[in-house]
Amino acid sequence: MAVSRRMFARNALLAPAVLALSATTRFEDVAHAESSEMPDTPRFQRRMIGEIEVIALMDGMIERPKEMISGYDEAKAAAAARLAHKPHDPAAIRIGINGYAIRTADRLIVVDTGSPSGLAPTLGGWHASLAAAGIAADQVDTVFLTHLHPDHVGGMTDPKSGTARLPKAEVIASEADWRFTFDDAIYASMPKAVQQGLDISRAMVTPYTASKTLVVPGAEIAPGLTTVAMPGHTPGHMGLRIDSGRESVLIWGDLLIVPAYQFANPDWGFALDTDKAAAAKTRAKVLDMSAADGMMVAGMHLDFPGFGYVERAGQGYGFVAAPWDYRV
């Protein structure tokens, strides 16, 4: 479903945009930031999905206050954190940021690229994690973007020089999100904080303009790799389903941002959700499907490495981390 410009503008204005995960930093700050702490602690984890290797790449972690969560209730949050064995600190909720690399017989595809290091000192480790996993930046042939928020496109371009950091990669992104990000009328209607986020997104993807392929959900981007519609967080937000042999994983992007609370309370939204009602509807549908199918999932804001299973728990859901894969 297309999200109207007016609808987006209203939601964006209602959201506490100044607190947004990716919109508190000006592009100039990102461009001038010194390298973050994260590159000293690169982290990756491999596993196999049939014949396809999937590698989780840690970008880092950021802390955000409960004011960014819509529907928040203190007693429910405390109970959810207790059930999930997570820390509960409403003033500084930990949100991890992951990317994934996919190695097939003849392709090397990355799914999102983490944050620019200037967003926070604890972010920006994606490239170091990629290198630690033994992948050179120029081996990446495709970047698949679940959406274009700054914490997903940050590794694509050197903010100082404006040159592509994945020089051989073509970009596959949602047609709706690309159009949205580069629409000057939408940009002009946005609060300053959102414009700052859009500035970062534009700068990170612009060097790839000539090599991009824009798709609609449902497209197969490589054998066994199918995009899945998950609208709401952004108009064109997509997941990527990987099927090989008898195994599957659904990388669901930003289906949920705060796993400590949102599995138990899937109706709670996040400040950056473009259309909160659509995001909640998508979340309900995908969580229900994942639990019913027993399918492995992964996500950009699930605690690293993010591979696991959704289970029904009370009125909501719980998350069980996947066991170590001894095949790798």
Binding site for Zn ion (CB under 5 A): 151, 254
Measure Cα distances from 160 to 29, 151, 232, 258, 326 in Å: 10, 17, 32, 31, 41
| Minimum distance from residue 184 beta carbon to Zn ion (Å) | 24
Question: Could you give the C-alpha distances from 36 to 123, 125, 165, 252, 311, in angstroms and in order?
Answer: 7, 8, 17, 27, 36
Q: Which residues face 108 on adjacent strands?
A: 103
62 versus 190: smaller Cβ distance to Zn ion: 62
CB 183, min distance to Zn ion, A: 20
- The smaller minimum CB distance to Zn ion, of residues 146 and 290, is found at 146
Residue 88 CB-density burial (10 A; 0-12 exposed, 13-18 middle, 19+ buried) = middle
Query: Closer to Zn ion at the Cβ: 103 or 152?
Result: 152
Cα–Cα distance measured from residue 61 to residue 214, given in angstroms and rounded to the nearest whole number: 29
Q: To the nearest whole angstrom, how small is the minimum distance from the Cβ of residue 106 to Zn ion? A: 29
Q: Where are the beta strands (DSSP E) in the chain?
A: 44-49, 52-64, 69-70, 93-103, 108-111, 142-144, 170-174, 212-215, 220-222, 225-229, 238-244, 247-251, 269-270, 296-298, 308-313, 316-321
Residue 64 or 103: the one with the smaller Cβ distance to Zn ion is: 64
Closer residue to Zn ion (CB): 165 or 237: 237
Shortest Cβ 152–Zn ion spacing (Å): 6
Burial of 211-222, coded b for 16+ CB within 10 Å and e otherwise, reads eeeebebebebb
Choose between 53 and 151: whose C-beta lies nearer to Zn ion: 151
Dmax over Cα atoms in the chain, in whole Å?
51
Minimum CB separation from Zn ion for residue 300, in Å? 5
Q: How far is the CB of 95 from Zn ion (least distance, A)?
A: 8
